[in-house]
Structure 1
């Protein structure tokens, strides 16, 4: 955000270091260590004969901040466990959005821009070989859009960018008939199916994050204890081990900062003592698990099917085989008026042009800046892809993506709003110049 000495863009971490007397900014050094510490924990555990696993999710924004601050100590520690072959089996990076933008409220044409910008930035730091191993996606705040068009375009963008699975929260999905997921189905991969307002379908593998897993529980290695209570399960005619998928959302309340290390490291020693880390309960990363069960003969077509929450209510009103954007919009409008439990996150979508038209008079700055950006650049990029290498394009893109960070999503009052307004002002000046 624009809080440098002369209004330049700096990261929150840098701001914490520069204003250590405000709030809990005295923790800046500890935060930096948290971003770096897996580069110490994993080699240490491996040298002790353990078989640890960790999946990492850092926004492009965060990686940029570390680079901007010259924190090569942190980045080199992460490079060690990412790029050195002896640590690759233990560490999996998950892709995410470039800035911490929640998917349902991000303008649809920007979803792919965030996804690609993260990939470009990750590759610039860790190399293309490391990027080629990034197959799973971790959505900011675990938000899953349930509007048929937004979800369809999101999954389409993920697949076009090479992702093969997505982490999904159990209460954000339902079975096709609208009932909740069967308990056992939460511990095996699901096939998340999205149908858009034209009736087209697309699907991607989803690993389900179970509900009992807020940050505090993950910090105490609750997934490990949950896994102890699970047996094996059948997918098609193949029996496989269950997978308990969990995620913690960084430094809320200091839990990951303080409680995670004394729980994470001993768990791998306990696992080592119970079967050498190769039997009983073991650690898996997401892609590793999917590759192993598929190599054992599991067919992804046999994964249980799920869809985004509340979608069954739309398809009860609209025949999927005769779906039109108008019929879906009408069904959503009726449901909003008659069903207080019905919530739809996301937006309808036809194509870039009508999207820009539709937002011409919308006051929400985020949508406005995005519309201005696409109005200026989409036709230019179509004529010549090299436009994306131009400085003016990249600067305008940077401000468009930054304004979509979730911290700026609620345009109320206060410092964050002032920062967001300034980012918007700069972005608008760039796209109008």
Structure 2
């Protein structure tokens, strides 16, 4: 069997996010399946982008990566739009050649923004392959809800027509969101082949490096002071709802320290907010490498996950950091209002209302009042759950069933 994944942002452990295409493809390659990933040469998600003239082919852990040259960009302005159109244009122009050269049995369209679908269909028709549409964020609904764009906006109307076309044409639809099928039905589609295949973890990945010296020094000092460390690791964006996490520290006593590790557009604003509070128990640290994340999480007494309230979350969420948290076997304070919550299903933490500092503080006090053995048992429930339900070896096999 040959599988072709079309994912603009596909990465690898060496290049950085996004990781899902890599882990699925690696598991398929282990089963003797030939996998080709077609990606853009530049993505803001990667920490390292490949060198590329016009087209570049690389073998990474048994996976063939085909990179199409696209211009770099900053932010979400016209530069990113040009990057997207450059990728889609080259994908469309090379569709005949990709079909002949790679002879896929299944073509997966997985770039979120919908525009790679028609080139995917063309490749599939030329090679006699089945098509699969993979939903990450629901477009254009996400742009309307999070970006405040009107559904009457010409761009939104165009994308909505494209989404409706895809939902009706795809041989199968896969989503990381547990209840994306509700949205599909709301679009008036009744006959579709839907599969929920969430994000996952690789339990064989062992951290190759300890924490940077600065991180270790700061966290060791907090431990030496006897602090109960509440830690967040990940992007600092509006959607992560970190202001209530910072504000919660104001309702806690001197036993607690709040640590935020990572970077993002909102970090400077969050640091200013923390500085204005005058609370020395709120600490900001830089991002760490992927293979240092387990060591980072291991320093915490409890982990925080938040998100703003949003009607989008009625379809569920698929946050990668949650599964890293669960694998770390630490109790989690989950301030995300969404159905099908793994923290609740596993019993590995405390779920609180989104954007509620008082509730976050109350959950922190409850966890701190537990003995260490009880917290360890709670954390282990998360690890057991994620190993059983979110192991990429298992998820890859489920995905194959969706393609049949």
> Shorter-chain TM-score category?
under 0.3
What TM-score do you get using the length of structure 1 for normalisation? 0.25
What TM-score results when the alignment is normalised by the length of structure 2? 0.26
Higher strand share: 2
Larger RCO: 1 or 2 (CA < 8 Å, sep 6+): 1
